[in-house]
Amino acid sequence: MASLKELRNRIASVKATQKITKAMQMVAAAKLRKAQMAAEAARPYSERMAKVMANISAGMEGSENAPKLMAGTGSDQTHLLVVATAERGLCGGFNSSIARLARDKARKLMAEGKTVKMLCVGKKGYDALKMEFSGILLDVVTFREIKNVGFAQASQVSSQVLSMFDDGEYDVATLFYSEFQSVISQIPTAQQLIPATVPVVEDDVEAEDVHYEYEPSEEEILEDLLPRNISVQVFRAILENAASEQGARMSAMDNATRNAGEMIDKLTLSFNRQRQAQITKELIEIISGAEAL
């Protein structure tokens, strides 16, 4: 059984930890609002671009002049998995859930005889995957020294992905990230980047029977739009991850703070019981000594 001094030190230690977790929770709550606004502001642009791409590509179905980024290489033998996670931990299961989704996808593809390559965006994803997939991890892109990650960093990642595709290093590219829903809900998501998948857009009543003529041609527009769309999707994934990370950290630190409070109560109860037992023992010794006299 621990001594009173050990229990007192343990209580002080847990109280100090509780102060830290409470402070981290408050910091995450402050950062969450800004990150959430940025993620929600990026969604309309991304969705509108998807509608534009769907409209343009609708007139190119079956065309032999379709851009390579849309038509693909004609094979799906080699897959590139772009795993976007956070640079820091202490955010619950945020990083591990994205890594788990990418790990399951890699195992499935390898079981089918496909060649798999990985590109990690964020240190924690690399740390989670390097032990099992060290042979197929090509690179890790980190933004730890950058305070506010923006479109320039997303363009850096997309440029690397496009460069590898132009060099014929893979056939299909899939992006993994976590879509922010709420503080307690972040959904790990896999999105195919290359070949570009045209989303199914719901019919717009106002746009029915409306036909567009494009100048220059649809092929030339898509040649410029498709690389830009990859940068936009990577940027959106980074923003969604930023909001999801702060939401997960806020929830995790709240749980840690409450767990620390419960541990303090248990330790305090043990301390009081042991002190009471020690006082009772001393009283018995004094009474026994007095009676012996």
Model pLDDT for residues 255-278, shown as the tens digit of each residue? 999 999 999 999 999 999 988 888
- Domain membership of residue 271 (yes or no) is no
Each residue of 114-141: pLDDT tens digit?
A: 999 999 998 999 999 989 898 898 889 8
**Domain CATH code at residue 180:** 3.40.1380.10
Q: Report how many domains make up the chain.
A: 1
- Domain membership of residue 274 (yes or no) is no
- Domain membership of residue 158 (yes or no) is yes
Higher pLDDT, 272 or 70: 272
What's the predicted TM-score (pTM) here? 0.83
Q: Identify the domain containing residue 137 by its residue range.
A: 39-199+214-253
Residues 6+ away with beta carbon under 8 Å from 156: 141
Each residue of 80-106: pLDDT tens digit?
A: 999 999 988 889 889 999 999 999 999
Q: What angle do CA 29, 34, 38 make, to 5 degrees?
A: 135
120 among known catalytic residues: no
Residues 6+ away with beta carbon under 8 Å from 212: 55
Catalytic residue among 66, 81, 91, 173: 91
> Structure tokens of 171?
């056939």
CA distances from 155 to 137, 176, 191 (A): 20, 17, 17
User: What percentage of residues in the chain have a pLDDT greater than 70?
Assistant: 89
The secondary element (H helix, E strand) that includes residue 282 is helix 218-292
- Domain membership of residue 276 (yes or no) is no
Q: What is the dihedral of CA 17, 18, 21, 24, to 10 degrees?
A: -100
As a whole number of Å, the end-to-end CA separation of the chain is: 33
- Domain membership of residue 103 (yes or no) is yes
- Domain membership of residue 289 (yes or no) is no
- Domain membership of residue 6 (yes or no) is no
- Domain membership of residue 75 (yes or no) is yes
Q: What is the residue-averaged pLDDT of the chain?
A: 85
pLDDT exceeds cutoff 50 at 207: no
Give me the residue label for tokens 């005889």.
113
pLDDT score for 205: 44
